[in-house]
Amino acid sequence: MPARKPSAAEIRESHGFVRVAAVSPEIVLGHPGKNAVIMAKEALRLADEGCRVIVFPELSLTGYSCGDLFHTQTLRTQAMQALAMLVDATADCDALIVTGLPLLVEGRLYNVAAVLGGGEVLGFVPKTHLPNSAEFYERRWFSPAHTLVEPEIGLTDQISAPIGTNLLFQLSSIPGCVLGVELCEDLWTVNPPSGPLALAGATLIVNPSASTELLGKAPYRRSLVSQQSARCLAAYVYAGAGAGESSTDVVYSGHCLIAENGAILGESERFSFDTQTVIADVDVPNLLRERMQSTCFRDEAPKLETEIVTFHFDATTSKDASLRRPLTPHPFVPHAKADRKAVCEEIFAIQSTALARRLRQTHSKTAVIGLSGGLDSTLALLVMLDAVKRAKLPACQILAVTMPGFGTTKRTRGNAEKLAESLGIELRTISINDAVRQHFKDIGHAESQHDATYENSQARERTQILMDLANKTGGILVGTGDLSEAALGWCTFNGDHMSMYHVNAGVPKTLVRYLIEWCAEGPFAAKAGDILRDIADTPITPELLPLNDDKTLKQKTEDTIGPYELHDFFLFHFVRHGSDAAKIQWLAEIAFKGRHKPEVIAKWLAVFFKRFAQNQFKRSSMPDGPKVGTVALSPRGDWRMPSDFSGDLGA
């Protein structure tokens, strides 16, 4: 028989993604039986969508706002009966379900989260910190977790379950997916329990909560969830009690949040009486890699002696092939909802401050740049203008040089000339043709032989001119090559690969274009807006091969090495997340659906890994340059690998 084709959910989980959900159900206050029915229905629906962890709010079986009714035997009995109903109703559900109820243990009442799975209660986690001020007075009814004596509670004569704050729940089919629980106020304290839980191995923190809503509290709550997920290098699932709670003195909004390592993956609508759900796919391998790389995390000793409860589940039948998390085809480019002006100004400040510091340190009389009329040199020039201002130097100290060669087009040369003129920058024009022809004669190379020697000789001649001009004028040569070129080795060794300061070293190609487009619309709109827009639209080329007979380009970079938008995507997920080729391919097919076919993605992904592995020697000898984002390839800090690596990065 042919092998069974894996389901969409199995493929997703094979790449380490676990689907989680936070739910604020439409509760019936004080009616646990009805609440169990509502939650069971929602849990089965979510499990059918591939959710492996489903979190309901604090005390959700009864409702959080029952007050002194928590001390009545009737409500407590109904809560335990409702728990049994929920366990039975979800017995075939391949998911961990977290719900809340009051639980009487040895004469003390505890506010607990019950973790259910496979038709049984896997464990209870009591609340550690009980708020008892302003509108909260939980100590009136509940005891804090530290008053527990026994690590186990008997539910019936035959069935018992562990109870404690040291419980961790491991999902067997997803390596590294370990769930820890804290409740509501636990997050708001000086030392949240989630910290020790994360150090003990929890990669997924869940928080059943019943936070009241006040003016300004939602953004504060969102910040808490985001920041705690970042501190713990974990995912965080927060499920808040909804509008069905009592409004005697306060209102509950049903705020649900899912965060991963500081980023909000999903957020629910607030103030709805209907059940609200937020779903996201958490990248567990990414979290594990972040922890492995963080010395501050891995060097901190675990402070808990934990008990691991392992939950086994079968393959899901979910057909949902989607990925429920933000996934952009351009991970280096700010999100459309971001404050574009603020982001671009921040990037410019990083680049220009770095260059200004180098200009001050070297007491440079000039800052020399090769201005081709292309993307990279244009961005470098704009940054230089800001840098000399920060260094309190006159703009006349910038010396731009355009060096037409065998493949230079009228468009790029014209844009270089117009840009320098519009910005008031000195521009010198030095043709490299005669010097390169003399060099060909010296080394015995035919000008008709358009090979690597033909191309690289031109790149090195340009660099020699710029270096010599920097020496002659008492300045430094500012390099223009970007992060994407460094990753692919798309630069001539000891040619454009070299400078005295690499101002674009931390900026990938897709971000270079974005920044120039912003400059055209923003700070340089009046002086050079039209020129910058034309530069942004110009095909990317090194202009090292002769033009066609009709004076059009013969050489376009992306025809040779592939689209930069793909390579930047590959670079981000490989260097930032450590993803393997199969995972990157799968993510790229989702991100570029309708734009690049799977076979095209596979072709250029193979090129990326091959070029990345082969060109470390260029990165190892690159000049200084500022780190801009979370991905950088400086051999002095962010990326160190042997230049003679002979393995397969794409395996």
Active site residues: 58, 127, 184
C-beta of residue 294 within 8 angstroms of C-beta of residue 262: no
How many whole angstroms separate alpha carbon 644 and alpha carbon 638? Answer: 18
C-beta of residue 51 within 8 angstroms of C-beta of residue 3: no
Burial class (CB in 10 A: 0-12, 13-18, 19+), 627: middle
Give all strands (DSSP E) within 38-142, no chain letters: 53-55, 96-105, 108-117, 120-126
C-beta of residue 455 within 8 angstroms of C-beta of residue 490: no
Taking the CA atoms of 582, 587, 589 and 592 in sequence, report the sign of the dihedral they define.
negative
How many whole angstroms separate alpha carbon 211 and alpha carbon 191? Answer: 18
- Kind plus residue range of the DSSP H or E element containing 170: strand 167-171
Query: Roughly what angle, to the nearest 10 degrees, separates helices 598-614 and 564-571?
Result: 60
């604090």: which residue's tokens? 58
| Intra-chain end-to-end CA distance of the chain, in Å | 29
φ and ψ at residue 600, rounded to 5 degrees: -70, -45
C-beta of residue 479 within 8 angstroms of C-beta of residue 504: yes
Cα–Cα separations (whole angstroms), residue 7 to 317, 320, 347, 588, 608 = 7, 9, 42, 19, 29
**Residue at 520: amino acid letter:** A
Q: Which of 543, 529, 441, 432 is nearest to 492 (CA)?
A: 543
Cα–Cα separations (whole angstroms), residue 72 to 56, 59, 63, 147, 402 = 23, 15, 14, 21, 85
Burial class (CB in 10 A: 0-12, 13-18, 19+), 394: exposed
How many whole angstroms separate alpha carbon 496 and alpha carbon 458? Answer: 10
Alpha helices in 363-446 (DSSP H): 375-390, 410-423, 433-443
Strand partners, 273: none
- Kind plus residue range of the DSSP H or E element containing 568: helix 564-571
How many whole angstroms separate alpha carbon 508 and alpha carbon 355? Answer: 18
Residue 523, both tokens? 């700070």
